[in-house]
Amino acid sequence: MTITPAQATYFGFSGTLLFALLLLGALTLFTYTASRRIQLLTLGGPPEDRLDHPLARLWHMAEYGLLQRKMFRDPYAGLYHALIFSGFLVLLLRTLMLVFEGLFPGAGLPFLPTGFWQGYLLVKDLVLVTTFAGVVLALARRHVAKKERLDPSFDADLILLLIGFLMVTDLGAGAAKMALDAAKSAALGATPSTALAQNALWEPLTYSLSKQFSFLSSSSLQAIYFGAWWAHLVAIFVFGNYLPFAKHFHVITALPNLFFAKLEPAGKMATFDIERAAEAEKFGVSKIEDFTWKQKLDMFTCTECGRCREVCPTHLTGKPLTPKGFMVDLRNALYADADALIDADAGRGDGSAEVALAARRPLIGGWIDEETIWACTTCRYCEHACPVGITFVDKITDLRRHLVLEKSSFPKEAQTAFNGMERQGNPWNLAASDRAAWTVDLPFPVLTMAEAADAKLAGGVEVLFWVGCAGSYEERGKRVSRSLARLLHEAGVTFAILGTEETCTGDAARRLGNEYLFQTLARQNVETMKGYGVTRIVTNCPHCFNTLANEYPDFGGTFEVMHGTELVSRLVREGRIRLVNGEARSLSFHDPCYLGRHNGVYDAPRELLNAIPGIVLKELPLSRGNGMCCGAGGGRMWLDETIGARVNQARFAEIEANGTDAVGVSCPFCMVMLGNAKTELAGRTEAYDVLELAAQALPAHPG
């Protein structure tokens, strides 16, 4: 019987003892490093509960982690990642087998029947080769194809080579042992044993390689077997201990990060207690430790794959923000001060940790420039692209909250919008008393909730039409408001507006960091609507839609909120609206970020467009979840765009290239941005709101 490496003695030391010491050292080092990382996660930052809905969390982890749903959006990367990832899963058990063999040499494998282990050996044998193939494909992508989103990385190359080395040593050790067993049997004059015949069946690749070793002497085979076995295990220990220091920490943290992912609507921002924050004189995030544990787990988990960067509109138009760079900078900031943060948090030491922290590179202005923080349009394309569930908008807006509420440091144009929202209830700073002026041209009266209540109609109002600031003041937005009113009227839906009692939802204020203003507006609006017993709302503004549906519940306002296209497409389906007029035109549809990616409403506007006679929809190359931002979100509508190309022009150029007669939108801000781009670029493609087109198709359209 061939002795195993752990059964041998080395310079008088038992192989088992050496192995046990190596294992103990590796585990001790890993435990120490992991415990430091966990301490980093938990220090500072507000508490965050991510243990609700465990089954939904498990499914989310399985869908995106185990089934790798996002990885195959890039089929080549999906393939090599799946090969390597499946190798990890399968070889985890193999590693446990080797550890058992090292600690208990000569003992049979425990717990499970022989048939299981034989089946496992077959899978393992194949996976050694497929994993190696995955490594070769990954290296080819980095060094031959030189994919733009993958930056040169010594760390990535090292890890890939280490994985390849693990496959080679595992196969080499197994094949040498098999050849050794066969040589010993032959030396004893035995015919090939049943065990050797089974090798060909259960470990065919190892067996084939062992045949290639048949010319080697027993001592050479033993040297290969022992050398490869020890090298393999030492490489595993090195690999495991290297992971927490590098981007491959995601091997450990990706599944937990997906399990603890945000399950609330994507567009909902976290609400914090503004009174308590004011007492503590602390708003948002100014230091790296102020982020929550989940936000720090995101930093640990970034694989630096660059998928977020290649889709980010700010990066594509030459702004300083790249989501990948932002995440890596946050992680570097966290690691740079890790020891001092942990020591200071534990109250240990001689005060040097506090001194080091006081003198450290500041997060804002040091690691992250203010221009970077203000560049984001909060479009969430990066989050849609990220395969490991990392979020950006929460971190950007936490930094903005600090800048606005503690430092009063923000682009000066934002002040005009803040003043308008505060004084007149709209960011244009137009007279609050004119909020309902858009109704005057309509051929039927539009009641306010107050008028409906006076007329004892409040109970009979089916739905509140939330008009929004753009729908109330912006010229094109007012036309769309009239269109929606006409469509509702045509369907016989009884509706009312708040009129001058409506004020801005505060969406832009919140995303620009002015949480105080947002909460003031939110409370006021919720109180108004609850006062009228509102239960259902329709709005054409995706920003209002997102805020009313997802954020107002935190302030006691829980309503059924529909986007205009959702309600009108349903009314068409139910036969309450007939769309009979229309001119033949091809049309692209531009998905608004706050309707699509933030709230998953993709089909309703398309269903409505398809119901309008004459319209032929031609999808844009970047549509639905991949729709590119117009540049207005995150309060950017109110800020100057002075760096790089303009986002609206970049999107408009894509629309022009689609070659349609027109582009449909479902957001008043997209309408303004694309309309401006058409003028700026002297373009051809006219933008229409989907509801405008639907209203034009009504039988009694006045022309």
Binding interface with ligand SF4 (CB under 6 A) = 302-308, 312-314, 321, 323-324, 327, 376-382, 385-386, 388, 390, 392-393
Q: Nearer Cβ to ligand SF4, position 93 or 328?
A: 328
Beta strands 585-589; 662-665: pairing state: parallel
Residue 331 CB, nearest distance to ligand SF4 (Å)? 9
Helix axes 250-259, 54-61, angle to 10 degrees: 140
Residue 670 Cβ, how far from ligand SF4 at the closest point, in Å? 15
Report the nearest approach of ligand SF4 to the CB of residue 400 (Å): 12
Give the residue with the Cβ less far from ligand SF4, 73 or 701: 73
> Which residue number, 313 or 564, has a Cβ lying nearer to ligand SF4?
313
**Cβ nearer to ligand SF4, comparing 248 with 486:** 248
Tell me whether residue 386 or residue 595 sits nearer to ligand SF4 (CB atom).
Answer: 386
Which residue in this structure is represented by tokens 């787990």? 297
- Report the C-alpha gap between 169 and 159 in whole angstroms: 15
- The contacts of residue 264 (CB under 8 Å, 6+ apart) are 550
Of 396, 385, 395, nearest to 597 by C-alpha is: 385
Cβ count near 588 (within 10 Å): 24
Least Å from the CB of residue 518 to ligand SF4: 19
Closest to ligand SF4 by CB, 393 or 541: 393
Q: In a 3-state reduction of DSSP, which class is residue 14?
A: strand
379 versus 470: smaller Cβ distance to ligand SF4: 379
Q: Which residue, 388 or 604, is less far from ligand SF4 as judged by CB? A: 388
The least CB distance from residue 602 to ligand SF4, in Å, is: 18
Q: What's the min distance (Å) between Cβ of 219 and ligand SF4?
A: 48
| Closest CA relative to residue 610, chosen from 701, 698, 486, 694 | 694
> What does the block give as tokens for 448?
């306010």
Smallest separation (angstroms) from ligand SF4 to the CB of 551: 17
Report, in Å, the least distance between residue 702 CB and ligand SF4.
40
Report d(CA 365, CA 378) in Å as an integer: 20
Residue environment code for 552-572, b if the CB has 16+ CB neighbours within 10 A, otherwise e: bebbebebebbbbbbbbbbbb
Instruction: Give the nearer residue to ligand SF4 in terms of CB position, either 508 or 698.
Output: 508
Of the candidates 367, 369, 469, 370, the residue with the CA atom closest to the CA atom of residue 411? 370
User: Smallest distance from the beta carbon of 667 to ligand SF4, in angstroms?
Assistant: 15
Residue 629's nearest CA partner among 466, 393, 419, 439 is 393
Question: Parallel, antiparallel, or unpaired for β 463-466 and 13-14?
Answer: unpaired
With a CB cutoff of 8 Å and minimum separation 6, the contacts of 691 are 480, 483, 484, 487, 540, 564, 565, 568, 608, 666
Rounded-to-integer distance, Cα 460 and Cα 480, Å = 25
Rounded CA gap, 625 and 381, in Å? Answer: 8
Coil vs helix vs strand at 561: strand
Task: Write down the least CB distance from residue 158 to ligand SF4, Å.
Answer: 18
Residue among 446 and 509 whose Cβ is closer to ligand SF4: 509
